[in-house]
Chains A and B, each alone.
Chain A
């Protein structure tokens, strides 16, 4: 389905905005590339350039050093110019969101057909999205893979969905958590029943795609062991503790050495545990499970950044019909605004001015996480209440309790 003219206008405006800053204000770009809120050890553009430097000289970029990203990115960034890549990816994401929006049909009476221009604009002109794009965070490629997977699933394209989610997993590991709700979503869109045969073929497609990608990577860089330990091991064992907006870095700086492995395990189990819980609780709304999981991943993954937040805030408007049921929207929005303004300020006084210490910035990351968790929890509550009201329509507008 061709996009509407208004949507195309939004795309053009977004492209113009990004490309003009890329070409006319390179100082802003270099400042944004260095900001810890935007680039993390696993998504930093500077580290990608370093890996590219070694790759171009025939040396494995994974034997030590700072590069912890997938080799496919090296190939992409060696051939294509970065500004074009990031801008096009943003537009692709917006387009895929409109695809999902157009295909979305929910049985609840509150649901109204979504306006694709609104969805696209909400994503493209979200300040977090713009900052991530200009800051050249390579998580954008993962985001594109994730949204593409959801869009393919919405269109009933199993191969596309598995291909894209395998690509996402290959790049950033966490999209593997979206596999169960994704399969359910595909089944729902295709109006197919989910049998063992289907599921197994989908999973084998997924596994096959990952195998192909790993094989290709090994051919590119040569040594498998260093690649796996540097790229995926670094993400799992969190050895690089560079400050970011997440909860892991300061915790693992201060933790006693004897408990380090234990807590790494605990934090990962905590994150992974949400997948099963949400999928089992909301099997009829797998899209919302994906949305909620994206939000939870943004809070609890080891190296979150503004691009993860921008992804979450981009998919959240798909469920705007439950907004009347939310309780703490204003509070969550204020907390998020507060922390996004104070975070950079406190980082500045810790690292550059020296008049504050790490606790200031750490406190802001706590507040930020609380704000995001409020948003996730609140939207989850709203969706559950909406689901309940479908069963008991007389409860609309009444006060409820959860027991």
Chain B
């Protein structure tokens, strides 16, 4: 009696994993790396992706948005408080509900790498940290100005493909992600993922080496280009084909939709780091990375017979998640114990840390005549006499 049930249960465990990836949360890190008004399109690229992942359910607490400049409140913006990614200006990407975690000067290479590897000093709020675990699928989108194996941050520093590769491998070592989708829209974007070596990463970029990525169109009233080509066509696919979490569109469909004629550059995909290679990767659903994981399946509720089926199915799912959760718990308790230990150790250090005493201002009132002047004169006289008599007395 036990064995067939166990077998059924085991089978039911297997089945989902063939179609769905066994991830328990979704996180997104959306980075724009350019500053200044004429790089408006990089910000609107990032904000369009932000809107998409929010639309597909990822909550703000699991999205890290890094924007180095403020286009919405830029004095050159004729539409205050808004960022558009299309010249028809039908959709405002900024004004309603945006949570920017890293703004302005905080978007630096150091902060980005710390964010990925979660190596922070004490006191950094949770909204600025990537609190993923080994069941998290992470989407990383970067856009800006780049070149052969580097990406510029705010026109003053660079991140190289090696930095990214090492950061991802650290994440893999620390088991900070289940699967990672890396998307990048810059010039010579495909060179950025050339050096990756961590397992479980799918990478896609907008142009090959020695190729530039182009902007799509400009808005005459905003005055600058508002979206880049590759991102525009990715978004077009996402808007039209991936309308909600039930969408079964796969990454293979997304990447097949790339049209070099329209994008004007050759986008690339890298599958070799993904377990199962291109075949497994192509079967991953788009919403596995862009949407938020939910364990609920909406079914037809009309017939009563299906009620029993539903209940049975529910029991199976519940058992499946219980075992998975127990396994997670074990890992997490170990990790939590470690973090608690580390926290108490560092708290001790913080208390020992010498913060300088805040000093108040001193009152300045001139004393008209003081002992000080007399003392000064006396000191000078003393030194002078020391000089005079000393030379006579000593050799």
Contact = CB atoms under 8 A, between A and B. Distances in A.
Interface of A: 54-59, 63, 72, 74-76, 78-79, 152, 157-160, 163, 201, 205, 212, 216, 219-220
5 tightest Cβ-Cβ pairs between the two chains A and B = A75-B376, A159-B394, A57-B364, A159-B390, A160-B391
Interface stretch (B111-119, B173-181, B365-373): B365-373
Contacts of B376: 74-75, 78-79, 220
Nearest to B382: A216
Given A79-B380, A159-B394, A58 B375 contact: no
Contact of B379 (A158, A160, A220): A220
A57 B391 contact: no
Contact of B367 (A54, A57, A74, A159): A57
Contacts of B387: 160, 163
Contacts of B390: 159-160, 163
A220 B375 contact: yes
B362 interface: yes
A79 B381 CA distance: 12
24 contacts: A54-B364, A55-B372, A56-B366, A56-B367, A57-B364, A57-B367, A58-B372, A63-B359, A75-B377, A75-B379, A75-B380, A79-B373, A79-B376, A152-B391, A157-B391, A158-B395, A159-B390, A159-B394, A163-B387, A201-B395, A216-B379, A220-B372, A220-B375, A220-B376
B334 interface: no
B386 interface: yes
Contacts of B391: 152, 157, 159-160
A76 B376 CA distance: 8
Interface residues of B, number: 22
A158 B373 contact: no
Nearest to B365: A57
B394 A205 contact: yes
A219 B379 CA distance: 10
A347 B145 CA distance: 35
B394 A59 contact: no
Main secondary structure of the interface of A (DSSP, over half): helix
A301 to B, nearest CB: 26
Given A159-B390, A159-B394, A160-B387, A79 B377 contact: yes
Contacts of A56: 366-367, 372
Nearest to B380: A75
A76 B373 CA distance: 10
Nearest to A64: B359
Main secondary structure of the interface of B (DSSP, over half): helix
A58 B394 contact: no
B57 to A, nearest CB: 43
Contacts of B367: 56-58
Contacts of B365: 57-58
A78 B379 contact: no
A59 B373 contact: no
Contacts of B393: 159
Interface string B79-103: 0000000000000000000000000
A78 B375 CA distance: 12
Contacts of B395: 158-159, 201
Contacts of B359: 63
Contacts of A63: 359
Contacts of A79: 373, 376-377, 380
Nearest to A58: B367
A335 B17 CA distance: 79
A54 B362 CA distance: 10
A157 B387 CA distance: 11
A58 B363 CA distance: 9
B393 to A, nearest CB: 8
Contacts of A201: 395
A207 to B, nearest CB: 14
A216 B377 CA distance: 12
Contacts of B377: 75, 79
Interface string B352-365: 00000001001011
Contacts of A212: 386
A389 to B, nearest CB: 35
Given A57-B365, A58-B370, 14 more contacts: A54-B364, A55-B372, A58-B365, A59-B364, A63-B359, A74-B376, A75-B379, A76-B380, A159-B390, A159-B391, A160-B390, A160-B391, A163-B390, A220-B379
A263 B365 CA distance: 43
Contacts of B370: 58
A219 to B, nearest CB: 8
A219 B383 CA distance: 14
A72 B364 CA distance: 21
Residue of B362, B367, B370, B376 ringed by the most chain A CB atoms within 10 A: B376
A78 B377 CA distance: 9
B394 to A, nearest CB: 4
Nearest to A152: B391
Contacts of B379: 72, 75, 216, 220
Contacts of A54: 364
Nearest to A78: B376
Contact of A57 (B366, B373, B383): B366
Contacts of A74: 376
A160 B377 CA distance: 21
A78 B373 contact: yes
A228 to B, nearest CB: 18
A54 B372 CA distance: 13
Contacts of A159: 390-391, 393-395
A205 B364 CA distance: 39
Contacts of B380: 75-76, 79
Nearest to A55: B372
A112 B387 CA distance: 33
B367 to A, nearest CB: 6
Contacts of A219: 375
A230 to B, nearest CB: 15
Contacts of A205: 394
B385 to A, nearest CB: 12
Contacts of A75: 376-377, 379-380
Contacts of B362: 59
A213 to B, nearest CB: 8
A66 B140 CA distance: 48
Nearest to A192: B395
A57 B370 CA distance: 10
A366 B362 CA distance: 43
Contacts of A78: 373, 376
B388 to A, nearest CB: 10
Contacts of A152: 391
Contacts of B373: 78-79
